[in-house]
Chains A and B, each alone.
Chain A
Amino acid sequence: MGGGPGRRGRLRGAMRVPREQLRALGLVAPLLIFIGVTFIAALATMLMRSVHDPVVADALPETVALLRGWDGERLPAEAVYETAARELSRAGEERTIGQVAGRVNRVQGGLRSVFTRTARDLEDEAPDPAAATGTPWRDALIALDTAWADPATWHAIRTTGERFTSRNYLNAVDMDRLPDGTIARQPEERRIYLRLFWRTLLVSGAITILCLLLGYPIAHLIARAPPRRAALLLVLVLVPFWTSLLVRTTSWIVLLQTQGVINDILVAIGLVSDDGRLAMIYSMTGTLIAMTHVLLPFMVLPLYSVMRGIPPQHMSAAASLGATPLQAFLRVYWPQSLPGVGAGALLVFILSIGFYITPALVGGSDGQLISNMIAYHMQTSLNWGLAGALGGILLVGVLALYMVYDRLVGVERMGLH
């Protein structure tokens, strides 16, 4: 090494920083790529699907274009029927008719079979345009199915033919766009999502409160216990984490069901008669009990870590200053534990808003939450657009909650230092 620690040495030191940053970036790159592909891209795709649906527009492009000029009240012109027949028949050959029928069916029930059958019939025996006069295509289609004489069918094609649509979001909040373009609430019997969102919020709130009530004393106990016992208690809190969620949930079924352990015990000790066995599962009660159990550690851990930072001397000091135990708790301990309460409550609330497996297994019909509906649309009805819209609303709600927390606790924290 020549020159000593002169200017050049310092410069070289300054140059080293970006290289180290580059190396650090290289080390986290796999994670970034992984998150990018599995999380961000997947999320973006789902959100995209909720507003973008090109299936009908791709399969019936000319029909959709022609329908833009339609007045929406009388039956469309002959040219529209002719184009529709041609494109339906092509969709039948290209095997895309199933998807098109599914989309249209969501807007107007019963159209699925109309579309698939029409496409099949058109393939089998295409009407001969030259042989007829007047409106041969219209007559031919109506002959195949009377639904083609109903403007609602054409409405359905026009609506689903829009590549970008707000339909999914409207449906997700129990609304729909009427043929004349106005937005109105769904008929009473079709309003399900808002009620489900509301129920999800209520259940999540209830679970959060239950977790707080149960978790606060435990967290306090662990935070005050001598190190060895604290470690043991912490392990007991964490054991559920090491057990499969499925196992934990199904063991609740074993415990809670009508012929289950708890009912058997109650009957055996005579608290409950044999025909009066309690229905504790496959209902909201089951969802509440099982989810509170599953989510309790998420409340205990943040509480514990905050409580451990509260010196035990503070309670002694409050007592020596003349405070009753209740005063000492309310004025000295509780305010200092608030950041933990906030973090734990936020965590439990957000997790329970999106919880799926437990309500699906023990919730019965009235214990289902919005995530179960999302799963239904993903797996059963295959209406991914609506699933994406429901998920999108959920995501926005959670982000809003997080911002509220950041505001509240952020301010609180700043005040502490």
Chain B
Amino acid sequence: MGDIAEMVSQPRQEAPPEVHVEFAGVSKSYDGRTLVVKDLDLRVRTGEFVTLLGPSGSGKTTILMMLAGFQTPTAGEIRIGGRPIQNLPPRKRGIGMVFQNYALFPHMTVGANLAFPLEVRGMGAEERRERVGRALELVRLGELSDRRPGQLSGGQQQRVAIARALVFEPSLVLMDEPLGALDRSLREEMQYEIRRIHRTLGVTIVYVTHDQQEAMVMSDRIAVLRDGVVEQIAPPEGLYEEPERAFVASFIGENNRLHGRVTGMTDRDVCEVETGGVRVRALKVAPCEPGDDVTLSIRPERVEINPEPGRYRNELDARVEDLTFLGDHLRVRLKACGRDDFIVKIPNVLGHGGLLEGDGVRIGWTASDCRALNHEGGEE
């Protein structure tokens, strides 16, 4: 076990390549019929910050609970540092855990809460006090040791919960939607705080959230989950720029989803798709043949209004339906491609060129920004 002070003094090391946590073919069913987690394979490297991102019911918390030891997998194996841990009770796994509602013990002071994991490990009073002090400093709450959790604000309670999960110096820390109860500005502050702590200590963190922005801010990699299956796991940029599934594209950031049918191939990577009576060229992400149904995904900020003619391979007519001024950008709702909810964002850099509702405009985008993904029926 290292020392917090030593870790603090060390610069953050690049994540070593070895695997810290590994899920191998893990499935979980609560009722013996439906699988909440389906054949999960996931590797988390030492020192990595991996976020499990998904809507409620996607199985992300179940995965975390299996790792923490509060749920047992129905099938498969979970390994930490190469060692299978299914038969280890939670208290012997040495994993720090931050719970959704902090789970601070209300009848103990902040200091006693932090000393608890050290006490049950039989650590002497002197060393306990020292470590508690250092952990409180790490979360910048040095002077609140004698308060009770009920006397602290939500953000302070959150910091105490994080300090308590770190004070016994686990190499792996799990966080289950820890910021869900905080208001927006505090949540953003805490996101940076958690990232700072992660970089300072170099611990491996597995984080669960349904908030994609939160995941983007903190994570090294994000695993997007749906119905117990990892749809895609990639760094935040990769997930945003190169979604491989329609679900991921719609879950991460805003995008325009158009349903269409492949009519032909223009070259190896680009296909031609008919949607809403117009033909557009799109990057072929999922394997497809002419005649296949696909979902096109276009980011609103990648569409240009009234571009120089000939600049883009995709150019078509549209009509301005609605304008919303949002400070840093203008949100334009257009009637285009046979739908009236085509969104375009214009950054507020040099004004918005005098667009008016009802104007007819030209819009254009590159083929590579329009991704043809596997078609998923029934979803809008």
Contact = CB atoms under 8 A, between A and B. Distances in A.
Say whether A associates with B: yes
Interface of A: 311, 313-314, 316-324, 327, 331-332, 335-336, 415-417
A345 B281 CA distance: 77
B94 A322 contact: yes
Nearest to B92: A322
Interface stretch (B23-31, B97-105, B331-339): B97-105
B21 to A, nearest CB: 15
A185 B152 CA distance: 60
B120 A416 contact: no
A416 B108 CA distance: 8
B226 interface: no
B342 interface: no
A316 B120 contact: no
Contact of A313 (B69, B99, B150): B99
Nearest to A331: B116
Contacts of B68: 316, 320
Contacts of B120: 321-324, 327, 331
- Chain B's interface size range is 20 to 34
A207 B105 CA distance: 31
Contacts of A332: 105
A324 B96 CA distance: 15
B107 A416 contact: yes
14 contacts: A311-B103, A313-B99, A316-B90, A317-B103, A319-B90, A320-B95, A321-B117, A322-B91, A322-B120, A323-B91, A323-B117, A327-B120, A332-B105, A415-B107
B85 to A, nearest CB: 13
Given A316-B103, A322-B168, A327-B120, A416 B97 contact: no
B325 interface: no
A319 B93 CA distance: 10
Contacts of B101: 311, 313
A345 B121 CA distance: 34
Contact of B97 (A314, A317, A323, A415): A317
B245 interface: no
A243 B105 CA distance: 40
Contacts of A311: 101, 103
Contact of A318 (B93, B95, B106, B116): B116
Contacts of A417: 148, 150-151
Contacts of B299: none
B106 A324 contact: no
Nearest to B121: A322
A159 B70 CA distance: 76
Given A327-B120, A417-B150, A319 B91 contact: yes
User: How would you classify the secondary structure of chain B's contact residues: helix, strand, loop or mixed?
Assistant: loop
Contacts of A327: 120
B89 interface: yes
B164 interface: yes
B148 A415 contact: yes
B107 A314 contact: no
Contacts of B96: 320
A321 B168 contact: yes
Contacts, number: 71
B319 to A, nearest CB: 50
A320 B164 CA distance: 11
B62 to A, nearest CB: 14
A335 B116 contact: no
A145 B67 CA distance: 97
Given A327-B120, A331-B116, A320 B150 contact: no
B117 A322 contact: yes
B150 A314 contact: no
Nearest to B164: A321
A59 B148 CA distance: 69
A416 B150 CA distance: 7
A336 B106 contact: yes
Contacts of A314: 103, 105
A192 B107 CA distance: 46
Which residue among A319, A321, A336, A415 has the maximum number of chain B CB atoms within 10 Å of its CB?
A321
B302 to A, nearest CB: 43
Interface string B25-50: 00000000000000000000000000
A309 B90 CA distance: 24
Contacts of B94: 322
A417 B152 CA distance: 10
Contacts of A313: 99-101, 103
A416 B105 CA distance: 10
Which of A311, A314, A322, A323 has the most CB atoms of chain B within a 10 A radius of its CB? A322
Interface in B66-96: 68-70, 89-96
A62 B69 CA distance: 90
A324 B94 CA distance: 13
Contact of B116 (A316, A323, A324): A323
Nearest to B176: A313
A336 B107 CA distance: 7
Residue from B103, B121, B150, B168 having most chain A Cβ neighbours under 10 A: B103
A320 B105 contact: no
B267 to A, nearest CB: 54
A316 B99 contact: yes
Contact of B107 (A316, A320, A335): A335
B120 to A, nearest CB: 4
A318 B113 CA distance: 10
Contacts of B92: 322
Contacts of A321: 91, 116-117, 120, 164, 168
Contacts of B164: 321
Given A327-B120, A415-B107, 17 more contacts: A316-B70, A316-B103, A318-B116, A319-B70, A319-B90, A320-B90, A321-B91, A321-B116, A322-B117, A322-B168, A323-B91, A323-B116, A323-B117, A323-B120, A336-B105, A336-B106, A417-B148
